[in-house]
Structure formats: structure tokens, C-alpha cells
Amino acid sequence: MSQQFAFKSIGKNVRIDPTALFFNPENISIGDNVRIDAHVVISAGTEQGVTIGDHVHIACGCYLFGAGGIILEDFSGLSGRVMIYSATDDYSGESLTNPTVPDEYTNVHKALVTLKKHVIIGAGTVILPGVTFGTGSACAAMSLVKKPVADFTIVAGYPAKPIGTRSNKLLDLEQQFLGSAKAQAVC
């Protein structure tokens, strides 16, 4: 990590590509054993912020817009070009849009986005405000997620719909891994 940021907190064994950009880093918490790849943009906003758990990977070209808050719990991962929006403008025409307009003329909807433990998101997926992915859920590439996803459910499509279930064996593997010497060595 060649640049120094004043993160809210940062754990051990964190690898951040020098091309990653952080806005409001004082509202970003990063756990242990995290890898953030090239050309990632994380904008924490000024209220809720962004929280990244342990053993999280954020692949190349991901954008996280955290004005409404984003939580990536332990062992979650984002494939390349995933976009997470925790705030969105009102597109109805009843208000003005974009950040150059004072708040009293806009109607921005903000809502926390949460990826629980062991969530994996496929490349090119877009996640909208208020979505929670349950433990162990997965999302196929190029999906649009507008609604909550249940534990161990696999979703796909535009908009995303359930297409299957995921094994919960990963919970046992997590315990084995955390009990091993390798738990601190990989990032």
C-alpha cells in the first residue's frame, strides 16, 4: 500500500492496489486479511460509511457508493466491475438531481446495503439501495439486484430472481480454516 489514508480503522494483512480511490476514508473501516484490487472506488459518504469485514476481496473495477451505508461482512467477495449504490436520486421529475444541487431541491433515497457472511457477487452486477444479501447467498454475473436475497439463495437476472440454493458446507470450512495456521497467511 503506497498511499496512506486516514481510515476509521484498518486491520492486519490488508492489500490495497495503489490505483484504488477512497472518498471520506475517515468513514471506512477495513478488517483483517482484506484485498482491494486495481481501480476500485469506495465513496463512504459522510453519514453511514462503509464497513469491510475480515477475509473480504473486492476485485478490479468495483464501485461502492456508501452514502446510505454499505456493510461487507466476513468472507464476502465482489467480482470485477460490481457496483453497489446505497443512495439514488429520484428519477420521477418531482425533484432536481445530481450532487451539484442543494439537498432541499433533491429527493435522494438512501438505504443500507448489507452483504452477510460468505456472500459472493458475480461480475458486472448492480446492487441498489436497501438490499440485504443473506448469509451464504450468491448472485450471478450481470444481474440487477433490487430486493433482499434470502440465506443460501442464488439469484440471477435483470432484475435478479432466485434460481437455486447454495450449500452451507462453507460454514464448516470456515471453522476449519479459522482454526488453521493458514488463516492469517493468505490475502
Each residue of 122-168: pLDDT tens digit? 999 999 999 999 999 999 999 999 999 999 999 999 999 999 999 99
pTM of the model: 0.93
Q: From residue 161, give the alpha-carbon distance in Å to each of 125, 153, 157.
A: 13, 10, 6
Q: Is-contact 187 15, C-beta < 8 A?
A: yes
pLDDT for residue 129: 98
pLDDT for residue 185: 59
Residues 6+ apart with CB under 8 A from 4: none
In the predicted structure, residue 10 carries a pLDDT above the cut 50: yes
pLDDT for residue 131: 98
Q: Nearest-CA neighbor of 117 among 58, 72, 180?
A: 72
pLDDT for residue 166: 97
- Residue range 42-99, pLDDT digits in tens: 999 877 899 999 999 999 999 999 999 999 999 999 999 999 999 999 999 999 998 8
In the predicted structure, residue 37 carries a pLDDT above the cut 50: yes
The length of the chain in residues reads: 187
pLDDT for residue 182: 72
pLDDT for residue 2: 39
CATH superfamily name and code, 9-184: Hexapeptide repeat proteins (2.160.10.10)
pLDDT band at 187 (very low <50, low <70, confident <90, very high): low
The torsion region of residue 81 among left (phi > 0), alpha (psi -120 to 50) and beta comes to left
pLDDT for residue 1: 40
Which parts of the chain fold into alpha helices (H)? 169-178
Which grid cell is 58? Answer: 473486492
The domain locations on the chain are 9-184
